[in-house]
Amino acid sequence: MKVIIVGGVAGGATAAARLRRLDEKAEIIIFEKSGYVSYANCGLPYYVGGVIGDFDELTLQSPEGFFSRYRIDVRVRHEVVKIDTAAKTVDVRNLDTGKTFTESYDKLLLSPGARPVNPGIEGADCKRVFTLRTVEDTVRIKAFADAHKPARAMVIGGGFIGLETAENLSRLNIDTTVVEFADHILGPFDRDMASLLHAEMRRGGVKIMLKTAVSSISEKGDALLIETQDGGKFETDMVVLAAGVAPDTGLAAAAGIKTGIKGSIVVNKKMETSAPDVYAVGDAVEVENLALGTRALISLAGPANKQGRIAADNIAGGNSEYDGSFGTSVIKVFSLTAASVGANEAQLKAAGKDYEKVVLSPLNHAGYYPGGKVMTMKVLFDKSTLKIYGAQIAGSEGVDKRIDVIATAMRAGLSAVDLKDLELAYAPPYSSAKDPVNVAGFMIENVLTGKVKQFHYEDVASLPSTVFKLDARTPYEYARGHAEGFVNIPLDEIRERLDEIDKNKPVYVMCQSGLRSYLACRILAQNGFDCYNFSGGYRFYDIVSRDVLPAASAYPCGKDKN
């Protein structure tokens, strides 16, 4: 059996290695357009910033290494320019010699990945405008930064690559600005949760321009002139275009292979395309979004690796299936970690889902153990079925652990309430006896059983004058900042001051993290008040309102066990 693989990196290289382990006799050839067959594309921005200092660390496997260990024929700088699915051949151009030749196959695997997109920006091909997708891109950016010592940089796009690139350019003492068309960075997050990231980027010295579209780039002496659709003009020394990617599927489409969303390759669960004996994996294929039950593009290394493994199983005569993806992801943003899984609110609203949410601000470990740091969590779930739709978390430590627990719960089909019953490891330096994931489950149970009613950030501005707004924090906390119109009655004084609260009005209660306001609501509800608890707490409200992280001293951890 002769197998040709178009493209390496996560999907193609994984499939090749797996296939060799399954079939020692198969002839396997990888054609890779770039000069590198297997590299850590997620690590490319960190080489630019010097975090990864050794260039060789980026290349996971060389052509020589592939042949030595797996007897796989890897040909870099070879571009497949045509597929004939009837004749079962591919035409390949050697990019060093310019010569083209034809190669036959028994099985063909497409792993072309995705290409950076230009959202209609005139002059995007100017010198000093870069993209960051391949090792060669990384080398160009690093060489330019080292040689020219640019003082200013603009990153167009606030997604994963854009943010990582901006942070690493800033690390080189380059005055860096991120320009984002949407009203917040990092699309998997909702606007409220993204506020924590806005604040952290700005704290790290990176400027952010939201709801801004670049219309043109032109050369102005030794600088670049950036013009925006709203008439703004800015000068910079370099631009990194990171406005998103699109499936690189022109080759497949030209061969008559069925395509779907944004031109992506349509595959079944076995990773088979519409053409006989042709498979496809990675960023170029559409898969099922398991959170919403829809077809989607999920460009992540983890799914690509799994798809490559499954395709290899089936090429070798197996019967493996890829069910889909929840899109679990994580990113470092200076000193914060941001992670998400599943659908966000915007997607749920667009899909017409009847969902509920809880927002909480727990410490990453036991409050009495030194060094506790607040994380902010949002969990979304179906009101009727209790299916967990998704979660978003941002914080300094312990974020990746919690998102992985929730992602596992989603894969296992656990309900939102089931989160309270998970038995998770506890020791004071790592967690609390009630882990933040458990606390989310407790909150969801309280909401569903009517023990607490909620209101959220987006509700605060529209609260009518016919409600009583109560802040249950200490006078010290209240004096340092509070939401407009909220009256301060500390939690520990509420029972003695019930006569100061109008029993004929619904009571909306806020505290620092949501715990004391919940306790206040339990007291008030059992004394005949109609009470609503603010999800997330004042700390969350303050960050979302101002896009600024409070000073650590403003909210000392554990001060009021909240």
**Residue 534 neighbours by CB under 8 Å, 6+ apart:** 454, 455, 456, 460, 508, 509, 510, 511, 514, 517, 541
Reported as half-sphere exposure (CB side, CA atoms, 13 A), residue 479 has a value of 3
**Is the Cβ–Cβ distance between 486 and 461 less than 8 Å?**
no
42 is catalytic: yes
- How far is residue 73's CA from residue 139's CA, in Å, rounded to a whole number? 26
| Beta strands at 507-510 and 468-471: parallel, antiparallel or unpaired | parallel
Cα–Cα dist 203/551, whole Å? 11
Q: Identify the active-site residue in 42, 126, 511, 521.
A: 42
Helix (H) or strand (E) holding 195: helix 191-203
Query: How wide is the angle at C-alpha 199 spanned by C-alphas 487 and 401, nearest 5°?
Result: 95
CA distance 106 to 1: 6
Taking residue 429's Cβ as centre, other Cβ atoms within 10 Å add up to: 11
SS3 state at 487: strand
3 state DSSP class of 441: helix
Say which residues have a Cβ less than 8 Å from residue 294's Cβ, sequence separation at least 6.
288, 351
**Residues near 181 by Cβ (< 8 Å), separated by ≥ 6?**
119, 211, 212, 213, 243
Backbone angles phi, psi at 278, to 5 degrees: -120, 125
How crowded is residue 391: how many other Cβ atoms within 10 Å of its Cβ?
32
Strands across the sheet containing 487-488: 454-455, 531-534, 507-510, 468-471, 487-488
Q: Which helix (H) or strand (E) holds 524?
A: helix 515-525
Contacts for 146 with CB less than 8 Å, ≥ 6 apart: none
Spatial contact of 286 and 267, defined as CB atoms under 8 Å apart: yes
Question: Which 8-state DSSP code applies to residue 271?
Answer: -
Interatomic CA distance for residues 459 and 55, integer angstroms = 50
Report the greatest alpha carbon distance in the chain.
89
Q: Hey, what's the torsion of the CAs at 89, 95, 96, 100, to 10 degrees? A: 30
CA distance 394 to 333: 10
Q: Which residue has the tokens 């571009």?
A: 79
Q: Confirm if 470 and 487 have CB atoms less than 8 A apart.
A: yes
CA distances from residue 260 to 100, 117, 222, 284 in whole angstroms, order as listed: 30, 18, 43, 10
| H runs (alpha helix) in 255-396 | 301-315, 345-350
Helices (H) and strands (E) in the chain, counts: 15, 33
Instruction: Supply the residues annotated as catalytic.
Output: 42
